Amino acid sequence: MTESTHAVEPFRFYTRLHLTELLGIKASSLAELIRCMKSVPGSSIYHHTHRFLQQHQYLSPEPPNDFAYWATEALGEEALGEHLASVNTVQFGDIRSLRESLCGTMERYAGEHPRALNKTADPGEEFFFMKSVSFILPTRHEARTLEEFAGILQEITADSLYYHMFESRLRLEKQTNDFSTWFSGSLGDAALAADVERLDPYTHTMEGLRRSLLRLIRSRIPRR
């Protein structure tokens, strides 16, 4: 590819802003948590598996989902917390299968450690269910070449980056991230698309993810 390669279709950057809603539902024990997880809306499972990504844009020692954090901190079940933190979110193409995996992990653990079902969180430490309402809107940024794309990627908010890398793939069930779709479909660069697809965005901070993307993209831009 040369630096003058223009995309068939320009890439329009969107951003996604979210409002957190409280469901008024809480769980005090592992059994209650499993029961509630099976009935709350998918937007609640999505919220609790993605909240940390948005709130902690810088390096944080916390596990990547609220369920893991709660099992460890409120129930004192560190092993369960580790199992839940290790659920590989990037492998799921929809919320339904992610929910099944999380519930399955908890049920297997409860089967092997029945005493865990008897533990309850202290008052105030219960698991409070929430959900995310997403508002998606176009930004003024549009890229026609990789150079333009890299320049804009440096500037956009973490919310915009988040939308194209996480929300679009899992919540909107597009199966892959928007950037890879554009690189292969409009720029004809399947190799770059595959490189970006291979990144596990869940193990990066948002700023770390931005840096990784920029590194991959710049490596494909010929030097002048």
Partner 1 sequence: MQLDDYIPIVGRSVIEDLRLLSERLSGRRIQHINSTAVGGGVAEILNRMVPLCNELGVDSRWDVITGGERFFGVTKKFHNALHGKPESLTREDFEVFVENGRLNAERTATDADIVFIHDPQPVTLIEKKSGNKWIWRCHVDVSDPLQEVWRFLADYVVRYDAAVFSAPGFSRELPMRQALISPSIDPLSDKNRDIGPDIVDAVMNKYGIPRDKPIVTQISRFDRLKDPVGVLEAYRIAKKNVDCRLVLAGGTASDDPEGAEVYQEVLEKAAGDPDVHILLMSQNDIEINALQRASDVIVQKSLKEGFGLTVTEALWKAKPVLASAVGGIPLQIRHKYSGMLCHSVDGAAFSLKQLLNSPEFAKKLGENGREHVRNNFLLTRHLRDYLLLFLSMNITGDVVYL
- Name the residue nearer to partner 1 (CB basis): 111 or 138: 138
- Name the residue nearer to partner 1 (CB basis): 7 or 210: 210
The whole-angstrom separation of Cα 218 and Cα 182 is: 16
The whole-angstrom separation of Cα 33 and Cα 103 is: 9
Tell the smallest beta-carbon distance from residue 155 to partner 1 (Å).
6
Cross-strand bridge partners of residue 143: 11
State both tokens at 169: 């793939």
Tell the smallest beta-carbon distance from residue 52 to partner 1 (Å).
11
Do the beta carbons of residue 100 and residue 91 sit within 8 Å? no
| Binding residues for partner 1 (CB under 8 A) | 15, 17-24, 41, 43, 55-58, 60-62, 123-124, 126, 128, 130-137, 139-140, 155-157, 159-160, 171-172
Q: How many CB atoms lie within 10 A of CB 157?
A: 15
Tell the smallest beta-carbon distance from residue 214 to partner 1 (Å).
16
The whole-angstrom separation of Cα 184 and Cα 55 is: 31
Tell the smallest beta-carbon distance from residue 205 to partner 1 (Å).
11
- What's the CA angle centered on 202, arms 139 and 84, to 5 degrees? 135
Tell the smallest beta-carbon distance from residue 67 to partner 1 (Å).
14
- Name the residue nearer to partner 1 (CB basis): 135 or 224: 135
Tell the smallest beta-carbon distance from residue 49 to partner 1 (Å).
15
Residue 122 φ/ψ, nearest 5 degrees: -65, 155
- Name the residue nearer to partner 1 (CB basis): 42 or 113: 42
**Sequence-ordered list of residues with C-beta below 8 angstroms from that of 117, at least 6 positions apart, any chain:** 29, 30, 31, 110
DSSP letter for 222, please: P
- Name the residue nearer to partner 1 (CB basis): 41 or 104: 41
- Name the residue nearer to partner 1 (CB basis): 5 or 139: 139
